[in-house]
Amino acid sequence: MKYILLFLAVAVGYLIALLVKTKKIKLMSVFLAFSGAFLLSITLFNLLPEVFETTSNNIGVYIMSGILLQIFLEFFSKGAEHGHVHLPSQKLVFPWLLFFSLSIHSLLEGFPISEDNNLLIGIIVHKIPIAVILSLFFINANYKMRTTLVFLFLFSIMTPLGSWISINYEFIQVYKTQLTAVSIGIFLHVSTTILFESSKDHKFDLSKMSAVVTAIILAYFL
Ligand SMILES: [Zn+2]
Ligand SMILES: [Zn+2]
């Protein structure tokens, strides 16, 4: 069930992109701000306490390596995880670098999803705006429909795959806490970047601020 939901998040994103097409909607950036605040809240309220409850040492080091890994991945994705897409729009080939960096990011994102936390909702809320932005990029850059769909399909199965691997492989279970800590680092970096970029030039924006506060309150009471 949760695998299908994760997959659908990307499909929904693509449909929204098809509907809005070239129109730059303000609503999108408000939703992105909401998703960033929501993901950050789930990370702080659910995931962090979870890893610190265990006896594992060096949790902080794993979190830090997650942050570093995400910084490294964004050299290749140019920030697609937090709502940026910059690619040469002249060569309309399959964007392999973007694909690999997004895949590693999405795979790791799937590992900590479990019954005990609200991360599944957090990831779904995070995936939709990213999928819309990615799809809009592909559509506006005149990529072939087939390339777009193949890319989005492969992108959409990475997080469910990560979640499935973490449940079905004992080897992974042993390192569950460490992997969750790495994912926490990734979430911290991505969500705070979204929040940072959503208040461009530190200008106050009532709708975005309301979205952020609503997301935090919702995540707290979930
Ligand atoms: Zn950025
Ligand atoms: Zn992500």
pLDDT on residue 152: 92
Tokens of 1: 């069930």
More confidently predicted of 55 and 61: 61
Give dist(CA 198, CA 205) in Å, integer: 9
For the chain, the structural domain boundaries read 2-221
Average pLDDT over residues 168-172: 85
pLDDT on residue 185: 95
pLDDT band at 21 (very low <50, low <70, confident <90, very high): confident
Rounded to the nearest integer, the mean pLDDT of the chain is 86
Centre of ligand 2 to C-alpha 48, Å, is 17
Centre of ligand 1 to C-alpha 160, Å, is 25
Tokens of 42: 């789930």
What is the per-residue pLDDT across 81-137, written as a single tens digit (0 to 9) for each? Answer: 888 776 655 666 778 888 899 899 999 999 988 777 788 889 999 999 888 888 888
Residue 188 has pLDDT above 70, yes or no: yes
Centre of ligand 1 to C-alpha 78, Å, is 7
Q: Which ligand is nearest the CA of 36, by number?
A: 2
Centre of ligand 2 to C-alpha 185, Å, is 12
More confidently predicted of 62 and 91: 62
pLDDT on residue 206: 87
Q: Which ligand is nearest the CA of 183, by number?
A: 2
3-state helix/strand/coil string of 80-149: HHHCCCCCCCCCCCCCHHHHHHHHHHHHHHHCCCCCCCCHHHHHHHHHHHHHHHHHHHHHHCCCCHHHHH
Residue 40 has pLDDT above 80, yes or no: yes
Centre of ligand 1 to C-alpha 83, Å, is 7
Average pLDDT over residues 45-73: 90
Q: Which ligand is nearest the CA of 10, by number?
A: 2
pLDDT on residue 44: 94
Centre of ligand 1 to C-alpha 146, Å, is 27
Q: Which ligand is nearest the CA of 81, by number?
A: 2
What is the per-residue pLDDT across 22-33, written as a single tens digit (0 to 9) for each? Answer: 666 677 888 889
Average pLDDT over residues 137-153: 86
| 47-48-53 Cα angle (round to 5) | 100
Q: Which ligand is nearest the CA of 77, by number?
A: 1
Tokens of 23: 């129109």
Average pLDDT over residues 23-49: 87
Centre of ligand 1 to C-alpha 86, Å, is 10
pLDDT on residue 19: 82
Centre of ligand 2 to C-alpha 33, Å, is 14
Q: Which ligand is nearest the CA of 190, by number?
A: 2
Give dist(CA 185, CA 72) in Å, integer: 12
